Amino acid sequence: MSKEIGIDLGTANVLIYVDGEGIVLNEPSVVAVDTKTDKVLAVGMEAYRMVGRTPGNIRAVRPLKDGVISDFDMTEEMLSYFMAKLNLKGIMSRPNIMVCAPTNITEIERKAIIEAAEKSGGGKVYLEYEPKVAAVGAGLDIFSPIASMVIDMGGGTSDIAVLSLGDIVASTSIRVAGDKLNADIANYIKHEHGLLIGERTAEKVKMEIGTAIPKDEPKAMEVRGRDNFSGMPQTITINENEAEQAMHDSLKQIVTAAHNVLASIQPELAADIIDRGIILTGGGALLHGTAELLASQLDVPVMIADHPLDNVAKGAGELLSHMTQER
Q: Where are the domains of the chain?
A: 4-132+311-326, 140-175+250-304, 178-246
The predicted structure's pLDDT at residue 86 = 84
Instruction: Please enumerate, by residue number, every residue annotated as part of a binding site for ATP.
Output: 11-13, 155-157, 203-206, 283-286
pLDDT at 161 over 80: yes
pLDDT at 91 over 70: no
DSSP collapsed to 3 states, the chain: CCCEEEEEECCCEEEEEECCCEEEEEEECCEEEECCCCEEEEECHHHHCCCCCCCCCEEEECCEECCEECCHHHHHHHHHHHHHHHCCCCCCCCCEEEEEECCCCCHHHHHHHHHHHHHCCCCCEEEEEHHHHHHHHCCCCCCCCCCEEEEEECCCCEEEEEEECCEEEEEEEECCCHHHHHHHHHHHHHHHHCEECCHHHHHHHHHHHCECCCCCCCCEEEEEEEECCCCCEEEEEEEHHHHHHHHHHHHHHHHHHHHHHHHCCCHHHHHHHHHHCEEEECHHHHCECHHHHHHHHHCCCEEECCCCCCHHHHHHHHHHHHHHHHC
Topology of domain 178-246, CATH = Actin; Chain A, domain 4 (3.90.640)
The pTM of the full predicted model, rounded to 2 decimals, is 0.91
CATH annotation of 140-175+250-304: 3.30.420.40
The predicted structure's pLDDT at residue 325 = 73
CA angle 179, 183, 185 (to 5 degrees): 115
Rounded Cα gap, residues 64 and 47, in angstroms: 14
pLDDT band at 327 (very low <50, low <70, confident <90, very high): low
Give the lowest-confidence range in 91-105, 147-161, 279-293, 303-317. 91-105
Instruction: Please enumerate, by residue number, every residue annotated as part of a binding site.
Output: 11-13, 155-157, 203-206, 283-286
Looking at per-residue pLDDT, the higher value among 90 and 3 belongs to: 3
Percent of the chain with pLDDT over 70: 97
Question: What is the pLDDT averaged over residues 4-28?
Answer: 92
pLDDT band at 148 (very low <50, low <70, confident <90, very high): very high
The predicted structure's pLDDT at residue 94 = 83
Looking at per-residue pLDDT, the higher value among 290 and 105 belongs to: 290
Question: What is the pLDDT averaged over residues 298-324?
Answer: 93
The predicted structure's pLDDT at residue 182 = 97
pLDDT in tens, 23-77: 999 999 999 999 889 899 999 999 998 877 777 888 888 999 988 899 999 999 9
CATH annotation of 4-132+311-326: 3.30.420.40
Q: Are the folds of 140-175+250-304 and 178-246 the same?
A: no
The predicted structure's pLDDT at residue 2 = 64
Asked if 93 contacts 1 with a C-beta cutoff of 8 angstroms, the reply is yes
The predicted structure's pLDDT at residue 313 = 95
pLDDT in tens, 243-279: 999 999 999 999 999 999 999 999 999 999 999 999 9
Rounded Cα gap, residues 163 and 145, in angstroms: 9
pLDDT band at 293 (very low <50, low <70, confident <90, very high): very high
